[in-house]
Structure 1
Amino acid sequence: MSAKLPVFDIQTLRQNPGGSAARHAAETLRDICHHQGFCYLVGHGLDIAARRVFNVADQFFALPSPDRRSIDIANTPHFRGYTILGTERTKGAQDWRDQLDFADDQSAPTLGPNDPAWLNLRGPNQWPEALPAMKPVIDDWLLQMHEIGLMMIRALSRGLGLGASYFDPYFDPQGDARLKLIRYRVPEHGGTDQGVGWHHDTGFLTFIIQDEIGGLQVDIDGQIIDATPMKGAMIMNLGEMLQMATDGYLRATPHRVKSPPPGRERKSMAYFFNPRLECEFKPIDLPNELARDAPGGQNTDPNDPVFSVVGENILKTRLRAHPDVARRHYS
């Protein structure tokens, strides 16, 4: 029998986060994030809200190309907007997906000569004029997913023996979360099955909801596991900043998506629950029984270092993934 990702029910965390059952659940979650770094989450209660997001995403992807391209991600340095099919890269190879990036709406920063470039990750979203119904749906989803993210990071923190509120200051007054609405597709002529190539996520926690078309794969210690769609479940995985913060006790697991064959599409949404860009993480003093199983916070690939500052670590992959934005705004 092929290996499967573990399933974690968050009902206990939602109903009584301070109780003894929640403490046991937090330890279970910690073990999952130590050994696999990927799991299904059930009991989240967001099925109806997720359908609204998928519906508005379908409406966007059905818009004429000029309407979609009017909010091209390369319009601004903030990495928000529409990514045209085939223009994104993972490790230099084309990813066959188009997508729409959002985050919390913010004013564009005015950078001084000594300010880090990653501050430009903040800024206003680009909203399609042809689809005014999109903004309230996305804003609502960002709020709801923020609550899920807080609940899960507090449970993990408790499971690590740090106390539930340990990471709260890193999200005060708010973190720098992001959302992607993604359509994987391969053109009839040309292209490959690389929807997105093997990679680690760069932040804290990622939450994925996918349609019924499979393709997400996870590499756990050299074993490739299909993250087969599960009705009513979202997928959670860890990013490099949690790996860095726990000296590798919690793992950012490599994963990829294989695009469906030409003529078919796969839709998903990914919410990246990240701390403030300014936050810097060094290994936390974990309890001895956990610390002895922490192999170090760096990735095994020396060409893919993990930076300790959140903004720097996120910007490294955005520049590699979006050479059009890099050329126009960061060269």
Structure 2
Amino acid sequence: MQNPVPVLSMRKLYSSASSRQEFIAEIGKAAREVGFFYLEDHGISLTEQVKVLDIAKSFFALSNTAKKEIQMIHSPHFRGYSANYSELTAGRRDRREQFDIMDELTAFSDADIHHEWQKLIGPNQWPKQLPEMKPQLLSWQDKLTEVSLQLLEALCESLEQPSDALSETVRKGPYRHTKLIKYPGTSEGSEQGVGAHKDPGYLTLVMQDENSGLEVEFEQQWYKVAPRPGAFVVNIGELLELASNGYLKATNHRVTSPKKGVTRYSSAFFMAAQLDASVPVLNLPPHLAKQAKGPTSDPNNPLLNNVGENVMKGRKRSHPDVSMRFYPQPLECTSC
């Protein structure tokens, strides 16, 4: 079977009323059947994408000393550099170097922290050797946010809901997380770059270089999601699957390491509900509800009602060294 991941053109969303409806039908079908799709004509130029990959290459080429100065172990907000085998996926160590940012914010004072997840909020770490990196990546994150919020509205419409059905959950700004990633080659060729997993949020947008490695599970088989110049690979997260009562599909995916002598670079952008949000379960019309393939949702599911807490749990699982340093004991809730 050929690659099941469809290609969508975002241009249709704004071309005409009929083209818009065609796009909404296409994104709904892709998100329900596969949970993955390529997105073209999204308004972010190939030149801009290449510049982000170039800054990633420049960063990872810095000395180990320079990178360790902004290692994630220095950040209670889980920002900064991670070396190979630092992050865990499905309990196993990933072979990849990473640089993580989120929103550039001021950390809460200790007196203002009533929930442990509030400690996720704070500043990023930046390499002093690359002063251009901060404005470039923050601008990049803003542009991907705009694209992902437009997709979220289109997906709500595909569920025959108002386009703003989930807008209250991102009104103060969605939770945003961007990674620059370097996958070194290995003689094994099939070593875990990232283990099989589903993303926890609403949407993920991935930009790949020319080297393949991303794979998606579809009907119990794994398929390569080969790079398409200029296109993002978009996938549905578990939070959106739950909000759609199982209609939209969060799909297992993984990254295998490239062959020896090849280095793969990519950037991943994750968008979810704001950390203090409660996410509703959308009331789908019967003809859509009966097509749902995923798990049905309990409106009291803690994944829907404790967004920040679940983001924090995920960060702790993925980065046990940071967790051990800054979170050896859970914070007792003072306002529950």
TM-score of the pair, normalised by structure 1: 0.92
Q: 2:81 touches 2:100 (CA, 8 Å); kept in 1?
A: yes
Identity rate, percent: 36
Match of 1:312 in 2: 309
RMSD: 2.1
Provide the C-alpha distance between the structure 1 equivalents of 2:225 and 2:110, rounded to a whole number of angstroms: 41
Contact 1:96 1:191 in 2 (8 A): no
Farther-moved stretch of structure 1 (102-111 vs 70-79): 102-111
Equivalent positions of 1:166-181 (< 5 A) are 166-181=165-180
For residue 324 of structure 1, what is the aligned residue in structure 2?
A: 321
Answering whether residue 54 of structure 2 is matched by residue 58 of structure 1, we say: no
Q: Is this contact kept in 2: 1:81–1:100, CA < 8 A?
A: yes
Contact 1:244 1:306 survives alignment (8 Å): no
Q: AA paired with 1:11?
A: R
Aligned to 1:86: 85
Q: 1:81 to 1:88 in 2, by over 3 A?
A: same
- Residues 109 and 119, structure 1, Cα contact 8 Å, conserved in 2: yes
1:310/1:74 CA distance change after superposition, 3 Å: same
For residues 78-106 of structure 1, the C-alpha deviation after alignment (integer angstroms, 9 at most, x for no partner) is 11100111111112211000100011101
Residue type at the aligned position of 2:303? F
**19-28 or 148-157, which deviates more:** 19-28
CA distance in 2, matches of 1:298, 1:318: 26
Distance 2:244 2:234 in 1: 18
Task: State the match for 1:144 in structure 2.
Answer: 143
Instruction: Render the CA deviation track for 1:43-74: whole Å, top value 9, x for unaligned.
Output: 12312211111111111111111111111111
8 Å CA contact 1:240–1:306 kept in 2: the answer is no
From 239, 242, 249, give the equivalent of 1:251.
249
CA–CA distance in 1 between the matches of 2:203 and 2:320? 25
Report the CA distance shift for 1:328/1:263 in structure 2 as closer, same or farther (over 3 A). Answer: same
State the Cα distance separating 1:111 from its structure 2 match.
4.9
Equivalent runs, 1:94-133 vs 2, <5 Å: 94-111=93-110, 115-133=114-132
Pair 1:264 & 2:240 matched: no
Q: CA deviation at 1:321?
A: 1.2
Aligned positions, number: 323
The reply to whether residue 9 of structure 1 matches residue 9 of structure 2 is yes
Superposed, 1:174-253 pairs within 5 Å as 174-186=173-185, 193-253=191-251
Q: Shift of the alpha carbon at 1:123?
A: 1.0
Structural mapping, 1:68-87, within 5 Å? 68-87=67-86
1:223 deviates by 1.9
Q: Structure 1 stretches (4+) deviating beyond 6 angstroms? A: none
Q: Which deviations, in whole Å up to 9, do the C-alpha atoms of 1:209-237 show, x marking residues without a partner?
A: 10111110101231211101112211000
Letter in 1 for 2:258: P
Query: Structure 2 counterpart of 1:226, which letter?
Result: K
Aligned mates of 1:250, 1:237 — CA distance in 2: 10
The answer to whether the 8 Å contact 2:169/2:274 transfers is yes
State whether residues 32 and 249 of structure 2, in contact with CA within 8 Å, keep that contact through their aligned partners in structure 1. yes
Cα distance, 1:193–1:78 mapped onto 2, change above 3 Å: same
- CA distance in 2 between counterparts of 1:144 and 1:76 reads 25
Q: Which moved more, 1:313-322 or 1:91-100?
A: 313-322
1:9 CA displacement: 0.7
Aligned residue number for residue 302 of structure 1: none
Shift of 1:276: 0.2
Which amino acid in structure 1 is aligned with residue 62 of structure 2? L
Residue identity matched to 2:318: A
Please give the alpha-carbon distance, in whole angstroms, between the structure 2 residues aligned to 1:227 and 1:140. 27
Displacement of 1:284 after TM fit? 1.4
* One-letter amino acid of the structure 2 residue matched with residue 138 of structure 1: L
Query: What's the offset of the Cα at 1:145?
Result: 0.8
Q: In 2, are the aligned partners of 1:8 and 1:39 still within 8 Å (CA)?
A: yes
Q: Which residue of 2 aligns with 1:21?
A: 19
Code of the aligned partner of 1:107 = T
Q: Do the aligned residues in 1 keep the contact of 2:246 with 2:294 (CA within 8 Å)?
A: yes
Q: For structure 1, which runs of at least 5 residues remain unmatched after alignment?
A: 300-304
CA contact (8 A) 2:36 2:234 kept: yes
Cα distance change on mapping 1:111 and 1:198 into 2, 3 Å: farther
What is the CA distance between 1:113 and its match in structure 2?
A: 9.4
